[in-house]
């Protein structure tokens, strides 16, 4: 791969305190513009573009993208033969390049360029006060309403590698990758309009050559149904390339002699639309969004198909600098210009959430059905506490038995009240099992555990880890032994969040013969139970499920108060599950370091930053120290993009050291001293 600069920076690590915090965390603030345009009025168009650049700069945008041939207007037709139009556009381009210097950003503008008696439809990359590169269009549409070949030459018909504009020699061609010296994750490839619609878009090869961000300058006319197709095309290309994708198109200011241009603009990232313009508006629109290029890079690192593929041509690097502003970690924290949910495992849209829950519930049920068919058993034993996790497992078991046309009485539900069991949870467990038509058994564990304490010489008044774990292991022993009695299997109930934190007793609730909840995080369990109450069941069953959903999360291992009230609440001990699930998603799914996870958490949660840091430390300490429990976890189905099975997605040594991650948290904590 060739370079157009000899001072390639190599790999450098940006420090949060010394530069723009967004860049240091892998974010790149961009804007796509649909400018108001007058056909062939270069001065007016340049003025509008200049104003949009200045406005984007005020919002700290680092790159702004404009449509195809926006300096002249796309629909100039035979006016493209006029030297006056072409010369004026080139002069305006030089002025806009100068604008990028005092506005401290990058801009990409569509312009016609004359080279060796051929006219090219080009994207001009502007930055640092100069034209840094010029990318000509490869695929020229020449059917139906389009006839670009009348005026323009395809990039495939030139051997030129540079072009002179004024006293500047500028890289020219379709094999340019624009790379930021001070932001290694930022490498930019460019394609123009029809290039995207080709069988093999240039962006695919550019992505394999290292481009993490693809820009598309377009002039797509509007037709009935075309907008949704175009949106899907952009989403799919960004997903296929594992890249961010900026797209903007000419607006209704273009000629309407035969066509209407809608000004459709989108910002996408790996299959997700971050921002989108309104269509068919005459005034200038500026759509902004923060791209996570570190996330793009991490996704590529994990994708062996991507890493084993190669670009189909040699690319050349054009190096540039991204201007940065000094921003403190604790003050002046910028608000991200992208949608960010505090519950990344749960869709915000209610209809999508319902669809999501239905699919998960079906996956769990089919997974268990396969296991029952394979073992040939008609029985499962399940410990039902009256809490969310065991309730979900029970509902899945009943759905499975219905799928297999098996008698629900084969589901042996056992409640095992101990020292911390409340009447509410015990009552809900018994009522639910009987309403569902399962076999119900109540086996108290008080005396068995007391006998165990006596055998090992443990003082019952000492409520330590022995006191708690002895109860958990007694319950598992009962479940295993009853399963042996009936020739069945023990159905596990622990969820993904508990596995991540190790909030389970080794060789107790950590163990089963099959665990249908292993891939479901805690924040999603609650929604699944509520969804079941609304969609799978009704009447008294639904009433019980709603009450279970309102019950505080607790292992119920410590004694109750004198009034019989619960004294042990999980989230008061380790922190809110919604926060830990957030940490889990960004740490495992995207491999983000603690400082970035913390930054994102501060964007969506109302907890104090010190609270979030405290829980972040708890998360990393437990995640590393409790891997041995996950290394011995039972079989269970993968449900979403985050899974912790040692046989599948997550392979980690049980004795891995957490010092690097904890040290980064310590450094952040020092900022609050």
For 37-67, the pLDDT digits (tens) are 999 999 999 999 999 999 999 999 999 999 9
Mean pLDDT taken over the chain = 92
Predicted pLDDT at 490: 98
**Pairing between β-strand 514-515 and β-strand 176-180 as defined by DSSP bridges:** unpaired
Asked about 430 being catalytic, the answer comes back as no
Give the confidence band of 5 by pLDDT, cuts at 50, 70, 90. very low
10, two tokens: 């190599």
Would the pLDDT of 15 be above 60? no
CA distance 32 to 620: 38
Whole-number Cα distances in Å, 13 to 23, 29, 298, 658, 670: 11, 19, 16, 21, 21
Would the pLDDT of 640 be above 60? yes
Would the pLDDT of 571 be above 60? yes
Annotated catalytic residue: which of 61, 70, 186, 193?
A: 193
CA distance 29 to 61: 5
Range in 381-385, 569-573, 648-652 the model is least confident about: 569-573
Give the confidence band of 4 by pLDDT, cuts at 50, 70, 90. low
Q: Within 10 A of 210 (CB to CB), how many other CB atoms are there?
A: 17
Contact 343, 523 (CB under 8 A): yes
3-state secondary structure of 264: coil
Range in 3-17, 220-234, 443-457 the model is least confident about: 3-17
Predicted pLDDT at 326: 44
Contact 119, 152 (CB under 8 A): yes
Give the confidence band of 147 by pLDDT, cuts at 50, 70, 90. confident
Asked about 137 being catalytic, the answer comes back as yes
Annotated catalytic residue: which of 68, 468, 530, 556?
A: 68
Predicted pLDDT at 309: 86
Contact 239, 203 (CB under 8 A): no
Nearest Cα residue to 189 out of 163, 217, 169, 164: 217
Average pLDDT over residues 653-664: 97
Would the pLDDT of 572 be above 60? yes
Predicted pLDDT at 3: 61
Q: Which residues, 6+ apart, have CB-to-CB distance to 552 below 8 Å?
A: 566, 569, 571
Dihedral through CA 294, CA 295, CA 297, CA 301, nearest 10?
A: 130
Predicted pLDDT at 11: 31
Predicted pLDDT at 2: 59
Nearest Cα residue to 599 out of 659, 671, 498, 652: 671
Annotated catalytic residue: which of 103, 137, 254, 530?
A: 137
Predicted pLDDT at 8: 38
Helix/strand/coil percent split, the chain, to 5: 40, 15, 40
Predicted pLDDT at 125: 98
Asked about 186 being catalytic, the answer comes back as no
Local structure of residue 552 (DSSP, 8 states): P
Would the pLDDT of 12 be above 60? no
Predicted pLDDT at 477: 98
For 508-522, the pLDDT digits (tens) are 999 999 999 999 999
For 586-610, the pLDDT digits (tens) are 999 999 999 999 999 999 999 999 9
Give the confidence band of 7 by pLDDT, cuts at 50, 70, 90. very low
For 153-169, the pLDDT digits (tens) are 999 888 889 999 888 89
Q: Within 10 A of 659 (CB to CB), how many other CB atoms are there?
A: 10
For 513-554, the pLDDT digits (tens) are 999 999 999 999 999 999 999 999 999 999 999 999 998 888
Predicted pLDDT at 450: 97
Predicted pLDDT at 211: 97
Local structure of residue 654 (DSSP, 8 states): T
Whole-number Cα distances in Å, 297 to 8, 245, 591: 19, 14, 10
Whole-number Cα distances in Å, 603 to 169, 600, 670: 44, 5, 20
162 φ/ψ angles, rounded to the nearest 5 degrees: -140, 165
**Global pTM?**
0.91
């Amino acid at each position: 791969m060739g370079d157009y600069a000899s001072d390639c920076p190599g790999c450098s690590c940006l420090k949060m305190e010394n530069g723009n915090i967004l860049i240091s965390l892998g974010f790149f603030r961009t804007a796509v513009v649909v400018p108001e345009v007058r056909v062939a009025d270069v001065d007016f168009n340049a003025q509008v573009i200049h104003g949009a650049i200045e406005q984007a700069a005020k919002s700290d945008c680092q790159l702004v993208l404009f449509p195809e041939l926006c300096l002249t207007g796309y629909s100039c037709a035979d006016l493209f033969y006029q030297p006056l139009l072409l010369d004026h556009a080139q002069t305006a381009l030089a002025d806009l390049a100068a604008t990028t210097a005092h506005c401290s950003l990058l801009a990409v503008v569509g312009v016609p360029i004359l080279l060796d008696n051929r006219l090219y439809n080009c994207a001009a990359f502007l930055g640092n006060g100069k034209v840094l590169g010029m990318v000509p269009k490869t695929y020229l549409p020449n059917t139906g309403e389009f006839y670009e070949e009348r005026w323009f030459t395809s990039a495939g018909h030139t051997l030129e590698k540079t072009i002179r504009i004024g006293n500047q020699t500028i890289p020219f061609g379709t094999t340019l990758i624009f790379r930021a010296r001070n932001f290694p994750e930022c490498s930019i490839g460019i394609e123009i309009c029809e290039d995207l619609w080709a069988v093999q878009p240039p962006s695919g090869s550019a992505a394999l050559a290292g481009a993490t961000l693809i820009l598309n300058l377009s002039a797509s006319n509007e037709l009935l149904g075309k907008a949704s197709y175009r949106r899907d095309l952009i989403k799919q290309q960004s997903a296929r390339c594992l890249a961010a994708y900026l797209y903007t198109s000419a607006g209704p200011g273009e000629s309407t002699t035969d066509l209407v241009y809608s000004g459709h603009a989108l910002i996408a990232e790996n299959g997700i639309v971050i921002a989108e313009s309104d269509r068919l508006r005459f005034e200038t629109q500026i759509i902004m969004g923060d791209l996570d290029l570190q996330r793009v890079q991490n996704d590529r690192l994990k994708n062996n198909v991507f890493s084993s593929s190669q670009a189909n041509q040699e690319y050349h690097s054009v190096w540039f600098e991204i201007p940065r502003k000094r921003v403190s970690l604790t003050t002046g924290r910028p608000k991200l210009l992208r949608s960010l949910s505090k519950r990344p495992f749960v869709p915000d849209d209610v209809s999508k959430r319902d669809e999501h829950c239905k699919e998960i519930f079906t996956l769990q049920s089919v997974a268990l059905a396969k296991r029952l068919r394979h073992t040939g058993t008609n029985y499962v034993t399940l410990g039902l506490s009256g809490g969310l996790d065991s309730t979900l497992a029970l509902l899945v078991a009943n759905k499975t038995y219905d799928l297999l046309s098996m008698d629900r009485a084969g589901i042996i539900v056992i409640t095992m009240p101990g020292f911390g069991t409340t009447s509410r949870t015990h009552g809900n467990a018994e009522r639910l099992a009987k309403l569902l038509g399962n076999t119900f058994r109540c086996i108290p564990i008080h005396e068995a555990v007391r006998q165990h304490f006596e055998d090992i010489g443990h003082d019952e008044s000492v409520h330590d880890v022995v006191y708690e774990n002895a109860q958990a292991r007694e319950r598992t022993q009962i479940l295993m032994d009853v399963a042996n009695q009936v020739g069945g299997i023990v159905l596990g109930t622990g969820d993904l969040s508990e596995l991540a934190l190790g909030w389970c007793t080794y060789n107790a609730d950590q163990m089963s013969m099959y665990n249908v909840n292993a891939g479901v995080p805690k924040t999603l369990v609650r929604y699944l139970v509520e969804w079941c109450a609304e969609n799978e069941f009704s009447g008294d069953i639904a009433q019980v499920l709603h009450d279970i959903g309102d019950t505080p999360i607790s292992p119920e291992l410590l004694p109750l108060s004198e009034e019989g009230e619960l004294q042990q609440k999980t989230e008061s001990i380790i922190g809110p599950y919604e926060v830990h699930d957030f940490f889990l998603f960004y740490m495992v799914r995207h491999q983000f370091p603690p400082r970035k996870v913390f930054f994102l958490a501060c964007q969506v949660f109302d907890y104090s930053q010190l609270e979030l840091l405290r829980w972040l430390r708890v998360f990393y300490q437990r995640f590393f120290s409790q891997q041995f429990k996950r290394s011995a976890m039972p079989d269970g189905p993968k449900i979403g993009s985050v899974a912790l099975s040692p046989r599948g997605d997550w392979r980690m040594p049980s004795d891995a050291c957490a010092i690097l991650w904890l040290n980064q948290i310590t450094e952040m904590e020092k900022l609050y001293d």
